[in-house]
Structure 1
Amino acid sequence: METLTLTRPDDWHLHLRDGVVLKDVVHWSAARFGRAIIMPNLVPPVTTTEMAGAYRERILAARPEGSAFEPLMTLYLTDNTPAEEIERAAASGFIHAVKLYPAGATTNSDSGVTDIRRCDNALAAIAEHDLTLCIHGEVTRPETDIFDREAIFLEERLAPLLARHTHLRVVLEHLTTAAAVDFVRQGPERLGATITPQHLLMNRNDLLAGGVRPHHYCLPILKRERDREALIDIATSGHPRFFLGTDSAPHARHAKENACGCAGIFSAPLAIELYAEAFDQAGALGRLEGFASHFGADFYGLPRNGDRITLQRQPRPIPKALPYGDGHIVPLRAGEEIAWSLTDDTLAPEAS
């Protein structure tokens, strides 16, 4: 197969940041995806419907001319989010999910949830108003090994949450372990999951072997090869509750390349191409459309996109850096090649 035409996919987990860098980031996703669930971990976090509406307008203004890319907004859940705010969010028509960050779990999560039980009223309102709860599924106790945080979260936090809120629709984001695959697969129909391209294509050796690679550092962290293999198996299986979510997370180069670099991988400039590579390696290109274009929309209760994109098997060089505000950003595969190309996409000039 030298070309692959798909229903335009959606990204069910995306970071766009804000301010002067927004325009440097959003066009990459707009070229590939019809819609994206937009993460709310700005500074300050997007905790109200009014803030989400204002952020949405800034994203729309930053889109390329003629783009129909639609940001699907989220609220940032805190210990004190009132049920009335959830009701306002649902009535807005543009907020589709609420994001649960355990406090301290990742970038800009300090205002996150310290105890899920404190959020029971808000969680009940999320279920009542048919929104989706998106979860960063890790415990954050300092004594817990970073490679075990996801698996422990499933049993300690997520299983009791699903038992208490029996009508709550949940997306467990950026799966990284075989344990998480099994948990979601065996879970209720109202439990879905997203998988990133980096967790399909890399394991922890790609982060640590031969030297620390800061641009491969993300949270949840890359795991063992057997975990990557479990993710590939489920992503290419055609299971309808596992779908695309890049977790593309831009950080300026200087914020990644320092003594305490930020967590996040910037994959937006080659996102769908990376998934094509992963599915191609698994001999499952015919199942990419379901994973990328159908299952997420179906789970969220939204129509599938009506237009299509075409990929071709044509190696494409990836620049070493790209413009990002007053500085530069380093994309995944910087200075290397990607095996697939989007037919109507043109990479921005390499940053100097």
Structure 2
Amino acid sequence: MVFEKFQDVELPASFDAHVHLRDGAMSNLVVPTIRQGGVNTVYVMPNLVPPITTVQQALDYRARLQALEPNVIYLMSLYLHESITPNVIKAAKKAGITGVKSYPAGVTTNSSSGVVDYTLFYPVFAELEAQNMILNLHGESPSGDDITVLNAEAGFLPTLRELHARFPRLRIILEHCTTAAAIATVLALGPTVAGTLTAHHLYITVDDWAGDPFCFCKPVAKTPADRDALLRAAASGNPKFFLGTDSAPHPATAKRGGDRIAAGVFTQPYATQLVLGALEEGVERGVVKEGEVTMEVLEGFLSGFGRRFYGVEDKTGETIVLRKGGEEVIGLLTKEGLEVEVVPFRRGEKCWSVEWKG
């Protein structure tokens, strides 16, 4: 049995460095599922409607999340917007906000207020660097001219290189890498640049989302070679790469029909489990060798590398236990009293399970 060595293995609780928890009824539905995925610390994206652009908005949002699930640590971010100034960054640092998320205008869900010209924000980036905060980049160029969803990430990589060259001490994360070129670029840049990998991009390619709206997200999955490059990065033990699920819930109706299909894949209740399954499938296909996936690699990718980059120590000491084949992905996430429903990634399929120790 592949990965038999991980049966009943105990690991530190996972850290998910990229989550969408929404607000209102959707938050009420999905926030309680965070710990089901073996996760006790999350970095929360700010692309609500309206976006989180002030310190007080971020603190109020965190309070709403804590009220729903107090046993999770929520690291908060601001949405890069024309109202964000160096003084806002200073205030954010004092308030314990972790970073700022940049969305190129119009590339994904709730990004209409995003960035058109990065040079306008150079004073903000300089202050982020001075305050030792993080710049999170949705790494795609807007569609147009020769840019489509298939090469939008490649089109953005020169911007990443330019930002790192101008702000070499600024901690920058290229979020949800989807291509071999993105992996190579992160590797080529200095230690202040890292990349997050989602659980779903370790499984899917363009053919999957072309035929299944529940696999459609931004950035879109690319070729089998790109997917395999992500798997090798996850199994490499390189601290530049760690888990950021980009779990993005949408109402089932918004994924099944209408004028436009919502971009986003929901993986939150199975974050750790899906990573194990993806690595196991990678071993079975010969993309990575089983011996390369060690306890140290798993602990680093799922928890240690991200916490280290973010400077977040897990003072809880919480651990999870891995079990093979003990869980099945539900077909539909619902909650009594809520009208909103969400379909999880790989619905109906068997997966690993995690249990909290103690």
What TM-score comes out, normalization by structure 1 length? 0.92
Identity %: 38
The whole-number CA distance in structure 1 between the counterparts of 2:247 and 2:262 is 13
- The alpha-carbon deviation at position 319 of structure 1 amounts to 2.0
Q: Which 5+ residue runs of structure 2 have no aligned equivalent?
A: 284-289
Q: Which 5+ residue runs of structure 1 have no aligned equivalent?
A: 346-352
Give the 5 Å matches for 1:23-172.
23-31=28-36, 32-63=38-69, 67-93=70-96, 95-143=97-145, 144-155=147-158, 157-172=159-174
- The alpha-carbon deviation at position 336 of structure 1 amounts to 2.4
The answer to whether the aligner puts 1:342 opposite 2:351 as a matched pair is no
1:246-274 per-residue CA deviation (whole Å, 9 max, x = no partner) reads 00000000111113110000001111100
Give the 5 Å matches for 1:180-329.
180-208=182-210, 212-258=211-257, 259-281=259-281, 282=283, 283=290, 284-286=293-295, 287-304=297-314, 306-323=317-334, 325-329=338-342
The whole-number CA distance in structure 2 between the counterparts of 1:337 and 1:307 is 25
Q: Which residue of 2 aligns with 1:350?
A: none
Structure 2 letter corresponding to 1:21: M
The whole-number CA distance in structure 2 between the counterparts of 1:9 and 1:337 is 20
- The alpha-carbon deviation at position 84 of structure 1 amounts to 0.6
The answer to whether the aligner puts 1:7 opposite 2:12 as a matched pair is yes
The whole-number CA distance in structure 2 between the counterparts of 1:7 and 1:86 is 32
What TM-score comes out, normalization by structure 2 length? 0.91
Structure 2 letter corresponding to 1:322: L
- The alpha-carbon deviation at position 30 of structure 1 amounts to 2.9
Question: What is the alpha-carbon root mean square deviation over aligned residues?
Answer: 1.4
Alpha carbons 1:52, 1:74 under 8 Å: kept: yes
- The alpha-carbon deviation at position 172 of structure 1 amounts to 0.5
The whole-number CA distance in structure 1 between the counterparts of 2:204 and 2:294 is 19
Alpha carbons 1:123, 1:168 under 8 Å: kept: yes
SS at match of 2:307: helix
Of stretches 312-321 and 167-176 in structure 1, the one that deviates more from structure 2 is: 312-321
Alpha carbons 2:143, 2:149 under 8 Å: kept: no
The whole-number CA distance in structure 2 between the counterparts of 1:291 and 1:318 is 22
The whole-number CA distance in structure 1 between the counterparts of 2:356 and 2:192 is 36
The counterpart of 1:332, out of the listed 336, 345, 355, is 345
1:221-255 per-residue CA deviation (whole Å, 9 max, x = no partner) reads 01000001111111101001100000000000011
Structure 1 letter corresponding to 2:33: W
The whole-number CA distance in structure 2 between the counterparts of 1:327 and 1:293 is 31
- The alpha-carbon deviation at position 22 of structure 1 amounts to 1.1
Structure 1 letter corresponding to 2:218: L
